[in-house]
Copies of this chain bind each other. A is one copy, B any other.
Amino acid sequence: MEQKQISKAVISRLPRYYRYLGELLEDGVERISSGELSAKMKVTASQIRQDLNNFGGFGQQGYGYNVKYLYMEIAKILGLDRPHGLIIIGAGNLGQAIANYTNFERRGFIIKGMFDINPALIGRVVRGVEIRDARELEPFIAENDVQIAALTIPKTMAPEMADRLVKAGIKAIWNFAHTDLVVPDDVVVENVHLSESLMRLSYRVCSMQEQKEKERERAAKKKRP
Contacts and interface: CB of A to CB of B under 8 A. Distances in A.
Contact of A11 (B12, B78, B203): B203
B15 A193 contact: yes
Contacts of A164: none
A100 interface: yes
- Identical chains bound together, number: 2
A148 B96 CA distance: 24
A193 B192 CA distance: 10
Contact of A202 (B84, B201, B212): B84
A215 to B, nearest CB: 11
Interface stretch (A53-61, A135-143, A171-179): A171-179
Interface residues of A, number: 58
Contacts of A12: 200
A7 interface: no
Interface in A172-225: 172, 174, 178, 180, 186, 188, 190, 192-210, 212
A15 B196 contact: yes
Interface of A: 3, 11-12, 14-16, 18-19, 41-42, 77-80, 84, 92-94, 96-98, 100-101, 103-104, 107-109, 147-148, 171-172, 174, 178, 180, 186, 188, 190, 192-210, 212
Query: Which 3 pairs show the lowest CB-CB distances between chains A and B?
Result: A79-B206, A93-B97, A15-B196
